[in-house]
Amino acid sequence: MPHLLAETQLTTVPAYRLITLRDQDTEPAANTRGIIEQAQQTIAASTDDELYISCAQDLSPVTVTVHVWDSQPDTSQSLSSRLSLHCPSGQLVLGSPTGDAIGIELPHGPGTYSAVEYHRQLLAQLEATPSEPLPAPADRRPDTEHYLIHLWLDTPLPS
């Protein structure tokens, strides 16, 4: 049975409607148009070096929680396909372009990790009834959008 090794949470207003997760030593890609378009269609996408989450809005905070597991957790409820993320340093950066970012130390250290993403978007209720105005930022709940990323080590790298 998988055991949770680490949990990290970030609440931020997502600049450009994006949340990213990458190795701290990996520079963000210069040409991200294709992967961002893919994330806009599927919510989450990965270049293998950086994972992108496309958020529904960029006006109020979203919460992203990262769970690091000792083995593959139950992913049957995930809406995303299995994604890959290379982490040669064993340290990740979770954040938003030009916005807040936090570090995550991976208990297993350097390696290639698998990831799946779960999300809850209460904004979907508003999208279903487009005649209703979006609540003012001060009236929005902090959990309007919540993303959960499960990570587990696939292939260790020498540290």
pLDDT tens for 104-134 read 999 999 999 999 988 876 544 445 545 555 5
Residue 117 has a pLDDT of: 86
Residue 79 has a pLDDT of: 63
For the segment 69-88, what is each residue's pLDDT rounded down to a tens digit?
999 998 777 666 889 999 99
E-strand ranges in 4-144 read 4-12, 18-23, 44-46, 50-54, 62-69, 83-87, 91-95, 101-105, 111-121
For residue 71, give the CATH number of its domain.
2.60.34.30
Mean pLDDT over 7-32 rounds to 92
Find the angle CA(39)-CA(80)-CA(139) to the nearest 5 degrees: 70
| CA–CA separation, 75 and 82 (whole Å) | 9
For the segment 21-65, what is each residue's pLDDT rounded down to a tens digit?
999 999 887 889 999 999 999 889 999 999 999 998 898 899 999
Q: Which residue has the higher pLDDT, 137 or 50?
A: 50
By residue range, what is the domain housing residue 68? 4-156
- The count of domains in the chain is 1
Find the angle CA(36)-CA(150)-CA(62) to the nearest 5 degrees: 55
Residue 30 has a pLDDT of: 82
Mean pLDDT over 86-113 rounds to 95
Which pTM was predicted?
Answer: 0.85
